[in-house]
Amino acid sequence: METGLDLSPVPAAKRTASLTDVVLLFAGANIVTTTLVTGGSLSESFSFLQSALLVGFGVVIGTLPIALLARLGPRFGLPTMVLLRHPFGRLGAGAISLILILTNFAWIALNNVIAAEAMATLVGGSEWQWNLVVGAIAIGVALTGPRAMALFDRLAVPLMVIVGLGLTVALFGEAGREVLSRPGTGTLALLAGLDIVVGYQISWSLMFADYTRFQTSARSASLAVFLGMTLSSLWLMTVGVGAGIAGGGNSPTEMILGLGLPLGALLLMALSAITTNFVNIYLSSLAVKNLWGGAPERITVLAVGSIGVALGLFSPRLLDRYAGFMELIATLLLPIVAVAAVHFFGRIGHPKDVSAPPAWSWTAALSWLAGVLTYQNLPADLGATVPTLLVTALVYTLFRRLA
């Protein structure tokens, strides 16, 4: 079977992914406990209503740039990392690939840790044993390629939706009424809370073309990404807010049990870890191929997945560092999104051919640096997301004009 790690343009005969396939891939990747945790991270500082509004605005703001960039998949038929060679140069895209590989190891490990805790609570056994089981399933699915992932999601996503509906009913039923009425502490500024939500959505940005390149319509690709990401995030982040208020703990298992939800909800954690981790493994493997074109495909997938599993085994408290990890993700990726959007859709450039990228782009590198410095140095109460996007886009436009 093909793993789908070929970096060459997808031929027309293989562009068979439907809108439903891509919606389910993105939704399946996003129906995960980290989405719940993101909503729960707002629960202490804000009331339920305030948090729900932040989720609504943040999800849309964070998803729109990715949905825009998703149009590049059908347009060029190339994966994200190859497309990023054009604005950033081959060396710059290589650096981005390395960022993706390293951060995805943490995502894989984090999801395995959450799933292992959930399954150990649900059916017994040790967490390290379940970590191995969940990791092995994710690696196995990733080895079979994007088509198998889509087929897996057709089974897994509806099942997770059913379990998620149980979460929603419990939250808005009798047991959740007290939760929904609690005020927040105001520890975080409103715009800082918005940054958390946007940052989580942006964490998916480096997969904007990896699946849409198997589609034929740019419009369908953009719509599929927007629907898959927004619907799943709006739902699960909102539920996560309530669960965070009820549980008061950092562990998603404690959040769910604290609200008195059925134990079957723990199955959602295990399934969601699988659906998101075979995507993480696939993306990291593409990044490895971008750095080393001769990397054996199956060995690459196996190695990436195994390193993620090992990190989870040796770092069981990764969830304690979640907030700092999200800030790092947003700092690194927001400027990349801004540069790519201006490069491919701005008035300057508008490339029709990406077959001959430069070795290096100082304009993109300096623009990325300007965005990083903007995010890191703005006061929290001003919010960093929108200023970072704007500063990066303006600097890159200015440098392109000068060049």
Instruction: Quickly list DSSP for 115-157.
Output: HHHHHHHHH-S-HHHHHHHHHHHHHHHHHT-HHHHHHHHHHHH
Domain ranges, ordered by start, for the chain: 14-317
Amino acid at 26: F
pTM of the model: 0.83
State the sign of the Cα–Cα–Cα–Cα dihedral 243, 247, 250, 256: negative
pLDDT, position 335: 96
Residues in Cβ contact with 351 at an 8 Å cutoff, skipping those fewer than 6 apart? 86, 343, 344
Average pLDDT estimate for 221-250: 87
pLDDT, position 3: 47
pLDDT, position 174: 62
pLDDT, position 1: 37
- Of 55-59, 149-153, 337-341, the range with the lowest mean pLDDT is 149-153
Average pLDDT estimate for 286-306: 80
Q: What is the distance between the terminal CA atoms of the chain, rounded to a whole angstrom?
A: 46
Residues in Cβ contact with 102 at an 8 Å cutoff, skipping those fewer than 6 apart? none
Considering the domain delimited by 14-317, tell me its CATH architecture. Answer: Orthogonal Bundle (1.10)
Alpha helix segments (H runs only) across 259-361: 265-291, 297-314, 322-345
pLDDT in tens, 58-79: 999 999 999 999 999 999 988 8
pLDDT in tens, 347-376: 766 677 777 778 889 999 999 999 999 999
Residue 154 has pLDDT above 50, yes or no: yes
DSSP state of 318: G
Average pLDDT estimate for 242-270: 75
CA distance 69 to 202: 12
3-class SS of residue 169: helix
Which one, of 81, 138, 143, lies nearest residue 308 by Cα?
138
